[in-house]
Amino acid sequence: MRRLVVSRDTIIKKKFEVLFREHFTGLCYFAHKYTGDLDSSKEVVHSVFIRLWENRHSFDWEKPAKSYLFTSVYNRSLNFIRDKKRFINRDDLTDPLHVEEAAYNDHLEIAELESLISSSLQRLPEKCRKVFEMSRFEGKKYAEIAEHLDISLKTVETHMSKALHILKEALKDYLMVVILLMFKNMNRW
């Protein structure tokens, strides 16, 4: 029996590629919040990944890297702002009316989105909606849902696929709003 030996460098390279594929786009949107420019955001995120690659042998690949990546992008974005002298108008930051208006607009966007999601969920066939709610809102695994509803695992998968397709269609015009709200709220955690 022949054993395949995989080098540590090969494993690191694969993990790096997975991190890049999974997080690049989200990190660009996150950086865009600070840089105000998509090209600059990509530049910031690229520099973070380049630095990670350069330090790949000292990086702990066993720990989740998501928080490291977002923290690094945040710091690089602030450096970008400082270096390019793109300071935010301090009057905008301290003006209570401006802050109140921004919060009000966020609440309107969230309320509109919640309403759209709710109405989209109500349009799903009953069994399909139940499967989706058990999975997404109750955190149940597909096998648990199948057992609880006395249906096959394949049927659960089919219902989830159908529900996600319908919701994706219904919410396609709101994708950017969802992403921006997600990242805006991430900073509050």
The answer to whether 31 and 76 are in contact (CB under 8 A) is: yes
Of the listed ranges 3-12, 44-53, 82-91, 113-122, the one predicted with least confidence: 82-91
Burial 33-68 (b: 16+ CB within 10 A, else e): ebbeeeebbbebbeebbeebeeeeeebeeeeebeee
The pTM for the full model equals 0.44
Q: Which pLDDT tens digit goes with each residue over 138-173?
A: 889 999 999 999 999 999 999 999 988 887 887 776
Give the pLDDT confidence score for residue 149 in this predicted structure: 94
- Of residues 176 and 88, the one with the higher pLDDT is 176
Residue 152: φ, ψ to 5° = -80, 160
CA–CA gap between residue 59 and residue 18 (Å, rounded): 15
Whether 96 has a pLDDT exceeding 70, the answer reads no
Structural domains in the chain plus CATH codes: 1-87 (1.10.1740.10), 89-189 (1.10.10.10)
The answer to whether 59 and 52 are in contact (CB under 8 A) is: yes
Question: Could you tell me how many helices (H) and strands (E) the chain has, helices first?
Answer: 9, 0
